[in-house]
Structure 1
Amino acid sequence: MRPFRYERPADAAAAVSLLRTNDGARAIAGGTNLVDLMKLGVAAPDVVVDVSRLPLDSVDRLGSGGVRIGTNVRNSDLAAHAHIRGSYPVLARALLSAASPQLRNLATTGGNLLQRTRCVYFQDVTTPCNKREPGTGCSAIGGYTRYHAVFGHSSDCIATHPSDMAVALAALDATVIVLGPDGERRIPVTRFHRLPEKRPELDTVLERDELVVAVELPPPVPGAVSTYRKVRDRASFAFAIVSVAAQLSVDDDGVVTDARIACGGVAHKPWRAGRAEEQIIGRVATVASFAGAADAELAAATPVEGTEFKVPLLRRTIIAVLRDLAAEAAGDRAVGTREEGPR
């Protein structure tokens, strides 16, 4: 491991100053991702700025009816928080599907947003990787791609973002609050992460001298139901092959009045399924309408060799999640359980 300087700032402003004055500085909180990358030789910061003890570890109700979640709130604490479980179940379920209890006890809200891809080639310093070393090539193209993208990828990178929490936040229209030298700025979480394009080394729009200090959730939608479903190779401690976070509102006539859908395991960022949302809002909640919505979203999919199976898998997962939410909204578990017709 390369030598590095360790700093423990007294407050968030001091942390930002350290990030601004040291080009090779990286912030650390739980360390569940950065420490691994340092051990692998993928990350080699000159200065490690420990923000884990900053007083940014509370979950606070806002006057607007929303919630402000401090960057240092641990994933396990957030998942267990009574208001999050009751008003934002999609977020609690996404958190509980991630990693292991031991890692959730360390991992933080800010760190979860900023974790880097688990692409095997990114983590293997003996292979070319544009995300790790820009301009060297993408070893995943033509290689092992089971966990790789079907949306929004480029000829420079086909990696996916690994977070479960971020997918739920995308479906909730959360806002990321960051602190920089010029003060705070607010970034919609759907714009916080980037698609690779020609700069796959950049995961987010965060500037080098900015620090995530909080995430804000909008007020809960009255009567809405939500959930998170993760399809993976084993029941725990595995990253998503595909995942779906969704929130649905259905009126007394069975018409969808609001829908928010985000997908994980399929893009360089949490993938907000806007086409699918447009297809079902204003229509009666049926398996057929959900299938049409999934098809509309997946029309934009461009799987690479080895990821073709994700397209029908994601289709089935979207339909199943929406079907179950519609049944929950109706208060009748039998609603929407008919199998979709032949295709």
Structure 2
Amino acid sequence: MKEFGYHRASTVDDAVALLDREPGARVLGGGTNLVDLMKSGVEEPSLLVDVRELPLDLIEPTGNGGLRIGATVANSDLAAHPEVRRRWPALAQALLAGASGQVRNMATVGGNLLQRTRCAYFANPAMPCNKRVPGSGCAARGGEHRNHAVLGWSEHCVATHPSDMAVALTAFDAVVTVATPAGETDIPLSDFYLPVGRTPHRETVLPAAALITAVTLPGLPVAARSRYRKVRERASFAFAIGSVAAAVEIADGQVRDARLAFGAVASRPWRARSAERALIGSPAVPETFAAAADAELSAAKTLPDNGYKVALIRELTVATLSELTRETSR
């Protein structure tokens, strides 16, 4: 591991100023992803700015019925919060599906949003990877890609985003608050992650020297009837090969409102807006759910070994929406 400096930030302004002065600095929250990447040589920060003691660990209601979640809130604390469990249950389920209990106790909300891909070629400095070394190539396209992207990828990168939490937050129109040297700004999560395009190393719109300080969930009545379902290759701690966050409001047998996002299918959490449009105003039956999934997945491009993901997401969408429909009718 490369030698690095360490500084425990005392204020948000202190942290931002350090990040601004030291281009090679990285923010240290729980360290559950960053430290692993440092050990493998993928990340080589010159300075770690520890933000765990900043006053960013509160979960507070907002004036419009939403919830403001501090960036250093532990994943386990967020999953256990009674308002999250009651009003955004898919978020609690996504967090509990995301890791082991030990990791959830350490991992932070801000850090979870900034997880790097678990593509084996990215994690191995001996292999070409455009996300790690721009212009070096994408080894996954001709190599092991069974768990890689089927939506939104380019010839430059086929990796997927690993976060479960971010999928649920994407479905619920969450907003990320960021502190920068120029002041504080809000970024809708739908705009936070960049399309992979020709620059897979640029994963978010975060400006230089930026620090995530909070995530806000808007008051969204439909979110109270929501589910997160995840498929993985083993029952124990494992990353998704496909996941769905769904919320639905049904009246008189018709879908009145719907939110849908897919995980493990793209370089970012995938908001399924075409599927949402197909759902709203249609009968709440499995045939509708399948047609909505097909409308979203018609844009899928598969590689030789990951075509199964299209059928998997289709069936997962139908199963999740059907489950929500049965609960609504009780």
With normalisation by structure 1, the TM-score equals 0.95
Alignment match, 1:328: 327
Tell me the distance in 2 between the aligned counterparts of 1:178 and 1:330.
Answer: 41
The alpha-carbon deviation at position 223 of structure 1 amounts to 8.2
Change (3 A) 1:114 1:291: same
Alignment match, 2:108: 108
Q: Which aligned runs of 4 or more in structure 1 are off by greater than 2 angstroms?
A: none
The alpha-carbon deviation at position 236 of structure 1 amounts to 2.3
1:199 aligns with 2:217: no
Change (3 A) 1:147 1:223: closer
Alignment match, 2:129: 129
Residue identity matched to 2:255: V
Kindly provide the CA deviation profile for residues 236-293 of structure 1, in whole angstroms up to 9, marking residues without a partner as x. Answer: 2100000000110111x11111101000000000000011100010111001111110
Alignment of 1:160-239 (within 5 A): 160-221=160-221, 224-239=224-239
1:119 aligns with 2:119: yes
Tell me the distance in 1 between the aligned counterparts of 2:279 and 2:128.
Answer: 43
* Conserved? CA contact 1:229–1:245, under 8 Å: yes
Alignment match, 2:35: 35
Residue identity matched to 1:124: N
* Conserved? CA contact 1:153–1:196, under 8 Å: yes
What SS does the aligned partner of 2:327 have?
helix
1:5 aligns with 2:8: no
Alignment match, 2:313: 314
Residue identity matched to 1:10: S
Alignment match, 2:301: 302
Backbone CA RMSD of aligned residues? 0.9
What SS does the aligned partner of 1:248 have?
strand
Tell me the distance in 1 between the aligned counterparts of 2:219 and 2:260.
Answer: 17
1:290 aligns with 2:289: yes
* Conserved? CA contact 2:149–2:266, under 8 Å: yes
Tell me the distance in 1 between the aligned counterparts of 2:66 and 2:124.
Answer: 41
* Conserved? CA contact 1:160–1:269, under 8 Å: yes
Kindly provide the CA deviation profile for residues 136-172 of structure 1, in whole angstroms up to 9, marking residues without a partner as x. Answer: 0000011111220000001100000000000000011
Tell me the distance in 2 between the aligned counterparts of 1:68 and 1:223.
Answer: 15
Structure 2: stretches of 5+ with no match in the other structure: none
* Conserved? CA contact 2:52–2:72, under 8 Å: yes
Change (3 A) 1:224 1:73: closer
Structure 1: stretches of 5+ with no match in the other structure: 332-343
The alpha-carbon deviation at position 191 of structure 1 amounts to 1.1
* Conserved? CA contact 2:86–2:224, under 8 Å: no
Residue identity matched to 1:310: K
What SS does the aligned partner of 1:141 have?
helix
Alignment match, 1:274: 273
Identity of aligned residues (%): 54
The alpha-carbon deviation at position 190 of structure 1 amounts to 1.3
Alignment match, 2:58: 58
